[in-house]
Structure 1
Amino acid sequence: MKKIILSLIIIATFIGCGAYGFSGVNTNADSIQIDFFPNQAQLVEPVLTQRFTNDLQDLYTRQTNLTLTNSKADLHLSGEITGYRVTPMSGTADQTAAQNRLTVTINVRFENRLNEKDDFEKNFSFYADFAANAQLVGGVLETALDEIIERITQDIFNATVAKW
């Protein structure tokens, strides 16, 4: 008897979740188009555009059942990288920077062809701090971009299909 009740609870839980997946996605869309995000910032990091676009596409294909297409998709993401800047964050006693901050800003246009009230254009931005005596190349740059891109892509994902 306990097995039957437990089975009914599990079945009711999955039925109650409806179109939701384990990632919290609730969409009737079948396809998504994610355009290349060109770098239009004053300071350009060459690897950023390709890396950001690929990571964004990977996130949607890994966490949803949406098919990635090149045109006429139910959901459409486009935009551009508008900011890439390094600023000093904290000072030392001799008035030099102890820490620098890399900030990346991305302008995103989202179009939901199934529900136009979900459409938006919005800036997403995040940062990573690094030691002032470190050069923003190699592993330091890689680590900073990993942190920034992961956060921005997740924020975009949440704003578009997770509705968080």
Structure 2
Amino acid sequence: MYSFNGTNIDPAVRTISISTIQNNAPTGPAFLTQRFTEDLKDYFQRNTNLKLVPRDGDLQFDGNIVAYDFAPASIQQVNGVSQAGSNRLTIQVKIRFTNTKDDKQSFEQIFQNFDDYAADRNIATINNDPNAVRTTTNKIITDIFNKSVANW
């Protein structure tokens, strides 16, 4: 099975269901649950021919956001005082993937990615920037896609 979009999906697989990916990270913004879930659905719809169904798809995804951390990524000395040279947003998402046609491909895994921001940007400005958090979550969604249907 070969396709131009890099997927390796058995022809018997026709549907996909993606449960709401809950945000269980205590510091994560309120919008993260809906945005991550919708972006995950959109990615699969754009890159496969699978039909999205509310539940019991041939491929099933569920999980939760387990970490949303913002911390200094590098320290620099300014007039003898240690300060953050940049700040890093790290997000971890635990995904349970079930392939009902081939259980050997099913998995449960934590996916993690990050982005660095200038030291003068705090977590409030990051959360209020519609593209900042999405940059990090899109990397995670690509990793989930590659692990589940691209077999990379």
TM-score by length of 1: 0.84
Match of residue 70, structure 2, among 86, 93, 100: 86
In structure 1, the gaps of 5 or more residues are: 1-18
Mapped partners of 2:69, 2:103: distance in 1: 34
Mapped partners of 1:27, 1:92: distance in 2: 48
Quick check: 1:104–1:127 contact (8 Å CA) kept in 2? yes
Mapped partners of 1:33, 1:159: distance in 2: 16
Q: For 2:22, what is the secondary structure of its paired residue?
A: coil
More strand by proportion, 1 or 2?
Answer: 2
Match of residue 43, structure 1, among 15, 20, 27: 27
TM superposition shift of 1:138? 4.7
Query: Partner letter of residue 6 of structure 2?
Result: G
* Identity, % of aligned positions: 36
In structure 2, the gaps of 5 or more residues are: none
TM superposition shift of 1:133? 1.4
Report which of the two structures shows the higher radius of gyration computed on alpha carbons.
1
Runs of 4 or more above 6 Å deviation:
none
Question: What is the aligned partner in structure 2 of residue 153 from structure 1?
Answer: 141
TM-score by length of 2: 0.90
Q: How does 1:106-125 map to 2 (within 5 A)?
A: 106-125=93-112
CA offsets per residue over residues 29-74 of structure 1, 9 Å max, x none? 1000001001111212111111111110001001000000012210
Q: How does 1:65-84 map to 2 (within 5 A)?
A: 65-84=49-68
Query: Partner letter of residue 65 of structure 1?
Result: N
More helix by proportion, 1 or 2?
Answer: 1
Mapped partners of 1:153, 1:68: distance in 2: 16
1:105 and 2:92 are equivalent in the alignment = yes
Match of residue 127, structure 1, among 111, 114, 126: 114
